Amino acid sequence: MEALSLREDNGDKTAVAGQNTLQLIAFSIGDQTYGVEITTVREIRAWNGATPLPNTRDFVRGVINLRGTIVPIFDLRARFGDGQTSPTKNHVVVVMSVGDKWVGILVDAVSDILTVSREDIHNVPEGNAIDTELLNGIITHDSRMVGLIDLHAVVNGAKLDG
């Protein structure tokens, strides 16, 4: 499984994430862009299948072997309620640490590393519970919206009840 090389954002090549800036890994689902803080990302790998886990919600795509430990994979599209992704070799799993656990999330593609200022993070508009639950904030980058993913919320509630 080859790790994808990340294209750096040209404008920010020398920028170092300081007190007030935040570096994000941006990835896409459909034509929407989302981001997670770069420090939580452990590894990016191409989709290579996963062993399905029974008795779990549909956004749990299964588990993979990450160098000898078992890591669950969450389908972000399904988590947003847009139905399961039909993954191909071009889909990407971003492995992240959430608390003391490692999880992978399945996304369509990883696009950028963004450096943004903390002041530019906007609140998620009240309204849809899914939005406020799963997003920590919204950032505008190149006049496009980037949703900041709340990893803890994504992982929660994976088990099928009853």
Q: Should residue 86 be labelled a site residue for other proteins when binding is judged by CB under 8 A?
A: no
Q: Should residue 152 be labelled a site residue for other proteins when binding is judged by CB under 8 A?
A: no
Q: Should residue 105 be labelled a site residue for other proteins when binding is judged by CB under 8 A?
A: no
Measured in degrees and rounded to the nearest 5, phi and psi for residue 136 equal: -90, -20
Provide the minimum distance between the beta carbon of 69 and other proteins in the complex, in angstroms, as a whole number.
6
Q: How far apart are CA 34 and CA 160, in angstroms?
A: 26
By residue count, the chain amounts to 162
Q: Which is nearer to other proteins, 54 or 127 (CB)?
A: 54
Contact assessment for residue 113 and residue 26, using Cβ atoms and an 8 Å cutoff? yes
Q: Should residue 68 be labelled a site residue for other proteins when binding is judged by CB under 8 A?
A: yes
Q: How far is CA 115 from the centre of its chain?
A: 16
Q: Should residue 159 be labelled a site residue for other proteins when binding is judged by CB under 8 A?
A: yes
Stretch that binds other proteins, among 8-16, 23-31, 60-68, 136-144 (CB under 8 A): 60-68
Among 10, 69, 88, 143, binds other proteins (CB under 8 A): 69
DSSP track, 31-56: TEEEEEEGGGEEEEEE----BPPTTB
Q: Should residue 151 be labelled a site residue for other proteins when binding is judged by CB under 8 A?
A: no
Which H or E run includes 58? Answer: none
Binding positions for other proteins, rule: CB under 8 A: 49-56, 62-65, 68-72, 101-103, 158-159
